[in-house]
Each structure stands twice: as structure tokens, then as C-alpha cells.
Amino acid sequence: MSSGDDGADRGGRETPPKHGLAGPEPDERPHPEGRRNSQGIRIDPEVEATHEPRRAVFSALVEDEPGVLSRIAGLISRRQFNIESLTVGPTTVDGHSRITMVVEETEPDIDQIRKQLGKLKPVITVGELDEDAVRTELVLLKVEGTEPDKVHAITEMYDGQTLDAGAETITVQLTGDEQEIDDAIDAFRQFGIIEIARTGYAALARGNQPTAPGEKPGTADEPTRPTNTQ
């Protein structure tokens, strides 16, 4: 914008000297009392609104194209969100995969994760699962083989299976929710755990609720279409 005066003769030195910027000092200006928190939410100065992190389980139906997992992982990590687990596998529809992702973040960040995932081109639909969703994890445990009977008993107790039993090691498979698996691992500690492989959650919504928004019982003929669920 031009300065306040009409600058009579701009081409030459007759232009009257200007004064530079002026106005009251920063602290002399009136300032409102209000404030926002770091999420940009207006807050009552008395009660500071803070968000505790919570755990969220996302389910996304994606087009099964090369690099889709790295795109999702990359998007999450470059925004400095922490992924607790990430699983992926095919669905009933050719060319579609389901990704289940667990994160622990604050409410606004969980909202951002959902929206950012929704923007990715290979993502057909994505949503957060309710608390009551069916979720389960698989773990393989390799323990010392010195007390096979006891190992077998604990495996039975947690409805596990023995996959491999040798003179030196025994490998078992367990499934369950996080608490069950943590408990089982604790119980196996007495034998000396040599190695563990955990998969992270696979999850589906309970009952006839769709797992990802707009998801229909997938068939090859009528795959789920993208929805405007934002």
C-alpha cells in the first residue's frame, strides 16, 4: 500500500521527508484479556484446558498399492506422532487391504491423525474404533526348554499353542488383548524368555457396526466406496 501522504512528486527529491513508522509502543496498546492454549482453543484463564494422551485404534481400508504402508508410516512419523503398532493384511476385496494402527496421543492430535490419513490417496476410508471393538494380538514366545511340562501347563492356561518343542527351547503362540498377553508374558518369565515377536493389534468393530466408516460387507463385485466422513 502507498504511504499515507499523496507523495506529490515521486520521481524526484521534492518528495517531502517521511517519518517512518509511528504509533504507540507495544505495551501502551490496549490488549484483550483472552488467551488460547497450545492447540489454539480459547481458554478460561482460570481453568487451563489440557489434554491427556489416550490410546486410539484406527482402522483404514486402503488400496493395496506398492508403498502404501510406508506412506502411512511416513505421514505419521513426520508429524511426530508415535505409532504403537501397525498391522496390515488383505480383505475380502481384491486389491484392498486393512490397516489397523494404534497410537497414543492427545485428543486434537488423534483428530489430526484421522484427517491426515483420510487425505492420503490410497486410503478409501478410515475411522477410529470404539472402546468395545474386538481387538486381538498374536505373540510368539521362545522360552528355555528345561521344564516342558510346566511350560505346557501355562500355555494351556492362556489358551495358547505349542508350535515347536525341542530339547533346548519351546516356542508357543498366544493371542488375546494386550492385558492377557502381558499377563502371559509375565507368567512365562520364570522359564527364561529367549525371544518374543508381537504383531500388534488386528481389530474389528463389534456387531454389525462397520469397522471403517461407510464400510460394507466387502465383495469383489461391490467394494466399499470412499465416503465423505470428515
Partner 1 sequence: MSKQAPTPDEEPADADPETGADAERAADFRPATTGAESVVHALENAGVEAAFGVQGGAIMPVYDALYHSDIRHVTMAHEQGAAHAADAFGVVNNEPGICLATSGPGATNLVTGIADANMDSDGMLALTGQVPADMVGSDAFQETDTIGVTAPLTKHNYFADNPDSVGDTVGEALALADEGRPGPTLVDLPKDVTLGDTDTEPGPAEPPETTRPQYVADEENVAAAADAIEAAERPLLLFGGGVIKADATEAARSFAREHEIPVVTTMPGIGSFPEDDELCLSWAGMHGTGYANMAITHTDLLIGVGTRFDDRLTGGVDTFAPEAEVIHVDIDPAEISKNVHADYPLIGDAGTVLGQLDDAVDAAPDADEWRRQCQEWKQEYPMDYATPDDEPLKPQFVVEVLDEATADDTIVTTGVGQHQMWASQYWTFTEPRTWVSSHGLGTMGYGLPGAIGARIAADDDREVVCIDGDGSFLMTIQSLSVAVREELDITVAVLNNEYIGMVRQWQDAFFEGRRMAAEYNWCPEFDKLAEAFGARGWRVDDYDEVADTVEAALAYDGPSVIDFHIDPAENVYPMVPSGGANGKFALTEEQL
Residue carrying the nine cell digits 504402508: 69
Three cell numbers, residue 216: 460394507
User: Which residues, 24 to 83, sit near partner 1 by CB under 8 A?
Assistant: 24-27, 29-42, 63, 66-67, 70-71, 74-75, 78
Residue carrying the nine cell digits 522360552: 143
Minimum CB separation of residue 55 from partner 1 in Å reads: 21
Three cell numbers, residue 85: 503398532
Q: Which is nearer to partner 1, 24 or 217 (CB)?
A: 24
Minimum CB separation of residue 51 from partner 1 in Å reads: 12
Q: Which is nearer to partner 1, 116 or 162 (CB)?
A: 116
123 forms part of the interface with partner 1 (CB under 8 A): yes
Pick from 8, 20, 80, 221 the residue near partner 1 by CB under 8 A: 20
d(CA 102, CA 108): 16
User: Which residues, 162 to 221, sit near partner 1 by CB under 8 A?
Assistant: none
Complete DSSP assignment for 44-99: -SSS------EEEEEEEEEE--TTHHHHHHHHHHHTTPPEEEEEEEE-SSTTEEEE
Pick from 8, 19, 47, 186 the residue near partner 1 by CB under 8 A: 19
Minimum CB separation of residue 12 from partner 1 in Å reads: 6
8 forms part of the interface with partner 1 (CB under 8 A): no
Minimum CB separation of residue 2 from partner 1 in Å reads: 6
Q: Do 102 and 85 touch, CB atoms closer than 8 A?
A: yes
CA 112 from centroid of its chain's CA atoms: 10
Q: Which whole-number Å values give the CA distances from 168 to 49, 84, 146, 147, 171, in the listed order?
A: 56, 32, 7, 10, 10
Element (H, E) at 197: strand 193-198
Pick from 85, 106, 112, 169 the residue near partner 1 by CB under 8 A: 112
Minimum CB separation of residue 165 from partner 1 in Å reads: 40
Q: Which residues bind partner 1 (CB under 8 A)?
A: 1-4, 7, 10-13, 15, 17-27, 29-42, 63, 66-67, 70-71, 74-75, 78, 108, 111-112, 115-116, 118-124, 225-228, 230
